Amino acid sequence: MTEANDLETLRKAMEEAISRIPVREIVVPAARVREFREILGRQGSEPSAENAVPTPEEERIPIPESYLLTLLAPLSHDLFTAGIGHLLGDAVLGIIHTSSVVEFYDTLYCDTPYRLKLGFSGLVRKRGRMGGYLVGTFPHEVYDHAGNRVASDRHVFFLRTRGEIGNEEDLHG
């Protein structure tokens, strides 16, 4: 087994690649959330009420939970380009999103700064009827200005691989 195909070496390289992806700072404008709700048909109020000046109680507009995937899309882009793409390049023949575990720890609000952080918590080699593949787990997390985690989406991907990367035989040397 060559060092390039050693699972532990690959795991460490993936961890290093992911750690170099910078934390993203974002603010979701209320106008984007209104547009999102309109597209989904969930406007929730009369069009004239949309343009009204909010009362102090309405000052903080919650971001709907269904918006989380849109919010985290920049992290997924970084994962596929600077993470997996940079590290494995053309050795990966395909990527399949197999599961996602979403958790909310607090309400997210429009016009509030948040930090998005990509993590890496595991890489396992598997073999199926279609050949070898890697299973990678990549948490996408949202933090508030105080550093509290307010939401997370733990993504698991199957990475269909070319050549020996991911072949079960490599596990046994």
| Structure confidence by residue, pLDDT tens digits, 127-142 | 878 778 889 999 999 9
For the domain covering 3-28+62-172, report its CATH number: 3.10.129.10
| Residues whose CB falls within 8 Å of the CB of residue 37, separated by 6 or more in sequence, listed in order | 43, 44, 64
pLDDT in tens, 61-102: 999 999 998 899 998 888 888 888 878 877 788 888 999 999
Q: Where are the domains of the chain?
A: 3-28+62-172
Kindly report the backbone phi and psi dihedral angles of residue 81, in degrees, each rounded to the nearest multiple of 5, phi listed first: -95, -65
Q: If we measure between CA atoms, which residue out of 159, 45, 153, 40 comes closest to residue 103? A: 153
The amino acid at 103 = E
pLDDT in tens, 22-54: 999 999 999 999 999 888 886 444 444 444 445
Beta-strand runs (E) in 110-148:
113-118, 122-128, 131-143
